[in-house]
Amino acid sequence: MNGLRLILCNVLLTITVLAEAASPEAVYADKGMVTSRSELASMAGVEMLRRGGNAIDAAVATGFALAVTYPSAGNIGGGGFAVIRLEDGRVLTLDHREKAPMAAHRDMYLDESGNVIRGLSTDSHRAAGVPGSVDGLLTMLEAHGSLPRKTVMAPAISLARHGFPLSFDLARQLRGVLPAMARYPASVEKFSSRGEPFEAGEVWRQPDLARTLQRVARHGRAGFYAGKVGELIVAEMRRGGGDITLADLAAYESVWRPPVSGTYRGYEIWAMGPPSSGGVLVIAMLNMLEPFDLGAMGWGSADVIHHMVEAERRAYADRAEYLGDPDFFEVPVETLISKEYARHRFADFDPARASSSEQIGPRLADYGQESRETTHFSVMDADGVMVALTTTLNSGYGNKIVVPGTGILLNNEMNDFSVKPDTPNQYQLIGREANAIEPGKRMLSSMSPTIVTRNGEPFLATGSPGGSTIITTTLQVIINVIDHDMGIDDAVALPRFHHQWRPDQIRHDPYAISPDTEARLRRMGHDNISEIRWGRGIGDANSIMVKDGVIHGMKDPRNEGGAIAY
C-alpha cells in the first residue's frame, strides 16, 4: 500500500469508527486493542496487529504516529517509560527517559545570588534533556517486536508526509501555542500556515518530520542520534545556547530495569521503578489502603476520599526525599514498597481527622531502614502481550523549539530536576538531593505506566498524563476496578481528585466531590478543597482490561482519541 492510499484509508477508517471510539461505553475485542490520545495513532497500532505483528509492534507504531498526530506530547524529541508483559508472563520495564547533557551542573538554573532564573529550565534551549524516545521505541522493537522497522514506521511517515485533516481540538491547540513559538521561525513554519493559525479541517503536512522519520526507518538509531539529524540538533543547540552535543546524543541509551511489583487484594501490580516515581508511589499507596474496605465505604464518599488523600500525602512526602535516578542515588525501593513500611507509614492515620502536611514529612529515618501534556497509551494482542507506555515532552509542546530542517520539537524535561532544594517545579512538586542535577543523570518523573495481572494472567493496563496527577489518576483507575468493581468504562470516565502533600490541597474534577461530601471533609480538617481550572479534567487514562476472556478498551472521554479494536 503506497503512502497516499494508506492515509486515505486512515481518514476513512476515522470516519467509520469515530462514533464508537467516542462512546462512553468501552470498546470490545478478541484479537487486540490499542487505546491512545489519537485515533490515527491507535489505527497505526492496530494495522500492525492486522499484519500479524504483536503488541510490541503495535506500540512502537503508535508511539511514532503520536509524534505526528499529537505533537503536544507525542514525540521523538522527548522520552518515556514502558511496562511490558510478554506472552510467557514475564514483565519487563524499559526506561527511555531523557538525560541531562554532560555540560549540566547542579546550579545551572540559578543566578549569582542563588535564585532560580525564571524560564531558563522551561522556555529555553537549556531546558532540553537528551531525547530518549527514538532509542526506546527502537530498543523495544528490536528486542521483542516481530515486524521490520520500515513496516512499523510506515504509518507515521505517511501521516507526516501526506498530512491529515486537523480536528477542531488540535487546530485550537495549535492556535493557542503559536504566540509562545513566535521567537522560533522553524516552530512557526511547522505549526502554522505561513504564520496564520490553521483552521479545523485543513490538511496538516510535516515534510521535515517525514524526512527525519524516514532516516530513522532506514538507518535505525543512527538516523536520529548521528548523521544529518544529529548535526542539525547540535547546530540548533549552539545557536540558542543549549547544552546537547554530538557526544551526548551518541552516548544515549535506554535501560531495561526490573519492574517494581507488589500485590493488592490478590492482584499483582507491575510498574515502572526509578527514575519514575510512579510505580513506587502507586504500590506504596495501595499498601497503605489495603487494610481498609474501600468498597464498603462507597465510591466518592468522604471516607474513601479521606483515606486516599492521607495515603497520597505520605507517599508524596517520601517522593520528595528519596526518589531519583538509581544510577546516581541509592533509592530505597524495596523498603518504600514493602507492606511493613506501609503499616509504619500509616500508623498515625486518623480515620476521623486530616493530617497536616507541615507535620507529615519523609519517614524512613525513623523507620530504621511530572503540562500536564504527557500522553499514555495501552496495547494488547491476542497472545496476552501487553504494553503500557507513557511518553512526554514535559510541558505542552516542550520548550516550543523546533529544530530547523528536522520537524523535531524539543523537550523541557530539565525542569523535572530539583533546580534548587525545596523549590517547586512547574507542577508544584518538591525535590531535594536525590533529584539534584548531575551530568548524564535522568530526571525524576511521575509517569506511571502500570500492568495488573491476576494469577499471572492479563487483567489491566493503565496510566495517564497529568504531571503530578499522573500517579493519583493511575491509583484511582486501579481502585475503581478492584475495590469498586467497575468496568473499565466507568473506572476511567468518572471524575477524579488529587492531593500531593504540598501544597496541602485537594483538587478535583467537577462533580467529583458533592457539596455535602465537601462539607464533611472540611469538618475532618481538609480545609483547602478546590475544583480544577485547567483542561477538561484530571488525567487521560487510556486503559485496557480483560474480563471473561474479552478485551475491553477505554479511551478517556476527557479528550479526543480512540480505543480501536481488532
Nearest to 307, CA basis, from 265, 270, 349: 349
Q: Which residues contact 507 (CB under 8 A, 6 or more apart)?
A: 469, 497, 498, 499, 530, 531, 532, 538
User: Would you list the DSSP string of 522-566?
Assistant: HHTT---EEE--STTSS----EEEEETTEEEEE--TTS--EEEE-
Q: Which residues contact 511 (CB under 8 A, 6 or more apart)?
A: 495
Nearest to 230, CA basis, from 212, 242, 214: 212
| Helix 515-523 vs helix 302-322: crossing angle, to nearest 10 | 60
Domains in the chain: ranges and CATH: 261-372+447-565 (3.60.20.40)
At 392, list the grid cell: 512526554
Within 10 angstroms of residue 163's Cβ, the number of other Cβ atoms is 18
Nearest to 148, CA basis, from 162, 158, 138, 133: 138
Backbone angles phi, psi at 26, to 5 degrees: -65, 160
* Cα four-point dihedral sign 102, 392, 465, 120: positive
User: Would you list the DSSP string of 185-196?
Assistant: HHHHHHHSBTTB
The rounded distance, in Å, linking the Cα atoms of 49 and 52 is: 5
* Residues involved in catalysis: 374
Backbone angles phi, psi at 427, to 5 degrees: -100, 15
The rounded distance, in Å, linking the Cα atoms of 254 and 235 is: 24
Q: What angle do CA 375, 306, 357 make, to 5 degrees?
A: 80
Give the distance between the most distant pair of CA atoms in the chain: 64
Please report the pLDDT score of residue 536 as a whole number: 82
Give 472-484 pLDDT, tens digit per residue: 999 999 999 999 9
Within 10 angstroms of residue 135's Cβ, the number of other Cβ atoms is 22
* Cα four-point dihedral sign 142, 463, 34, 62: negative
Amino acid at 269: I
Please report the pLDDT score of residue 1 as a whole number: 41
Q: Which residues contact 533 (CB under 8 A, 6 or more apart)?
A: none
Nearest to 464, CA basis, from 389, 561, 414, 522: 389
Please report the pLDDT score of residue 14 as a whole number: 39
**SS3 assignment for 1-49:** CCHHHHHHHHHHHHHHHHHHHHCCCCEEECCEEEEECCHHHHHHHHHHH
- Mean pLDDT per block of 10 residues along the chain (566 residues) reads 44 38 75 98 98 98 98 97 98 98 96 93 97 98 98 98 97 96 98 97 98 98 98 98 98 98 98 97 98 98 98 94 93 97 96 90 50 85 98 96 98 90 55 84 96 98 94 98 98 96 94 97 97 87 97 96 96
* Cα four-point dihedral sign 138, 140, 143, 146: negative
Residues 16/556/375/258 CA torsion (nearest 10 deg): -110
* Cα four-point dihedral sign 227, 229, 230, 231: positive
Rg over CA atoms, the chain? 22
Cβ distance 197 to 175 under 8 Å?
yes
DSSP single-letter state for residue 366: G
Q: Which residues contact 59 (CB under 8 A, 6 or more apart)?
A: 34, 45, 82, 140, 377, 379, 387, 389
Bridge partners for 380 per DSSP: 33, 386
The rounded distance, in Å, linking the Cα atoms of 308 and 103 is: 41
